[in-house]
Amino acid sequence: MKKQRLFTGLQPSGNLHIGNYFGVLQPFLNLYPKYDSFLMVADYHSLTSSHDSQSLRENTLNIVRDYLAVGVDPEEVTIFRQSDNPDHTELAWILNCMVTVPFLQQGHAYKDKVAKGMEPNAGLFTYPMLQAADIALYDTDVVPVGEDQRQHLEYTREAVSKFNRTYGEIIKKPETIIMGAVGVVPGTDGQKMSKSYKNTVPLFGSKEEIEESVMRIITDSEGDIPETVLALHKLFKPEGELTDLYESNKGRYGDLKKALAHDINSFIEPMREKKKSITDADIVDVLEKGAQKAKEVSSQTMSQVRSAIGLNLI
């Protein structure tokens, strides 16, 4: 039986932390083999918030290297850059011409980011239509998202529906896969782990960097068992295996943190070694092959779209 097609994208936004691994990477690793999966590096999307060209180059190489290091197989997943396929911006323009300004003004993500001080540039405002184009180009069946991202897919479905009502049933309307909640991965200060809070444990940090981050975890001096340390430890070992350790080390926060750092390093070490072996040339090769396959699929969609709207003269 032919597999359904899955599409997801990721922004090249710097170094990953263990919250990213358990919240995004691990769920993708469990999901992608069940589908004909497309994984896009959303480098055009990143321009809405960053104009540092050197960082974009480095982050693009790093995010692909990270996904390969954790176990994504480029023979099984089509990995490509958004900017390597001009069909994305062409279809985005067409979809922009299908929706209204009031429709785009309803976007939660746009309003939230502007409220937090991000420049309200036009790219940020029309971001949902570039995202809709990303998905629509690949005859996508399913898109995995978190519950908080449901509106993103509703925007895509609305734009596709309006196009199809106007020009005929040309573009497939994707379905949403809501990713199961993994719970909040706590940072070193007890809040949700986030680069913006500067409370992360680096996914591919050195042994020393990981131990340093873990030793910074804020603990309650009145409690026998540090809750944040235990919550993180459960991600790396079954709770049953931790019971004796935490019982025998009540109040000895330093020893428990060292045990956590050791188990994080043991978990990460194979991925860290694999990452070291992946060269920039390897990544470029993966992206070039992925772009070729992506264009083969998207060109079929765009041929139908261009014909439907009257751009193909013959």
pLDDT digits 0-9 by tens, 203-261: 999 999 999 999 999 987 667 789 999 999 999 999 999 999 999 999 899 999 999 99
Domain 5-183+280-309 has CATH 3.40.50.620: yes
Strands 36-41 and 175-178: unpaired
Strands 77-81 and 142-145: unpaired
Note the helical H segments in 216-252. Answer: 227-233, 239-248
**Domain locations in the chain?**
5-183+280-309, 195-275
What pLDDT does residue 27 have? 87
pLDDT digits 0-9 by tens, 168-208: 999 999 998 877 656 689 999 999 898 878 999 999 999 99
Catalytic-residue membership of 192: yes
pTM of the full structure: 0.89
Whole-number Å distance between alpha carbons of 136 and 133: 5
What pLDDT does residue 76 have? 96
Among 62-66, 67-71, 144-148, 254-258, the least confident range: 144-148
CB-count burial class (<10 Å; 0-12, 13-18, 19+) for 217: buried
pLDDT digits 0-9 by tens, 114-123: 888 888 999 9
Catalytic-residue membership of 195: yes
Angle (CA) 216-14-156 rounded to 5° is: 120
Domain 195-275: give its CATH code: 1.10.240.10
- Asked if residue 5 has pLDDT above 70, the reply is yes
- 222, 247, 251, 231: which is closest to 189 by C-alpha? 231
Catalytic residue among 3, 34, 111, 113: 113
Average pLDDT score over residue span 50-75:
96
Average pLDDT of every residue of the chain? 93
Average pLDDT score over residue span 108-136:
92
What pLDDT does residue 112 have? 86
Helical axes 150-167 vs 108-115, angle rounded to 10° = 130
Catalytic residue among 162, 172, 195, 237: 195
